[in-house]
Amino acid sequence: AQSVSQHNHHVILSEAASLELGCNYSYGGTVNLFWYVQYPGQHLQLLLKYFSGDPLVKGIKGFEAEFIKSKFSFNLRKPSVQWSDTAEYFCAVNAYGSGNTGKLIFGQGTTLQVKP
């Protein structure tokens, strides 16, 4: 069965610190990879996605993620966080195969708290 593991459940950083959130998935076939973010009081929204091509993808608000196929990883990074980045971050996967339409497998989420 497919699964997604996020390494950190709660991360606290000061503004301007660098961020890296780990994400590993288990699935041997072709996958699409996503990072979603949920700001306080708001709905889940897409931060970035990887389907194919350049394994380094850039998203909104200065975030980027690198897909390393050999490590089954899709880590999220940002060089310098801001207080407004305080949110919950979810890594998600969907796998190519029948019966997977509209279905994302989510990690448990990482709560990021940025101190001003």
Partner 1 sequence: KAGVTQTPRYLIKTRGQQVTLSCSPISGHRSVSWYQQTPGQGLQFLFEYFSETQRNKGNFPGRFSGRQFSNSRSEMNVSTLELGDSALYLCASSRTGELDEKLFFGSGTQLSVL
Angle at 96 between CA 4 and CA 90, to 5 degrees: 30
Q: Smallest distance from the beta carbon of 73 to partner 1, in angstroms?
A: 19
105 is a site residue for partner 1 (CB under 8 A): yes
Residue type, 113: Q
39 is a site residue for partner 1 (CB under 8 A): no
Of these, 12, 18, 20, 51, which contacts partner 1 (CB under 8 A)?
A: 51
109 is a site residue for partner 1 (CB under 8 A): yes
In 3D space, the residue among 88, 56, 60 whose CA is nearest the CA of residue 75 turns out to be 56
Residue type, 40: P
Is residue 71 within 8 A of residue 55, CB to CB? The reply is no
In 3D space, the residue among 87, 92, 101 whose CA is nearest the CA of residue 11 turns out to be 87
Span from 17-25, 44-52, 61-69, 77-85 in contact with partner 1 (CB under 8 A)? 44-52
Binding site for partner 1 (CB under 8 A): 32, 34, 36, 42-46, 49, 51, 90, 92, 94-96, 99-109
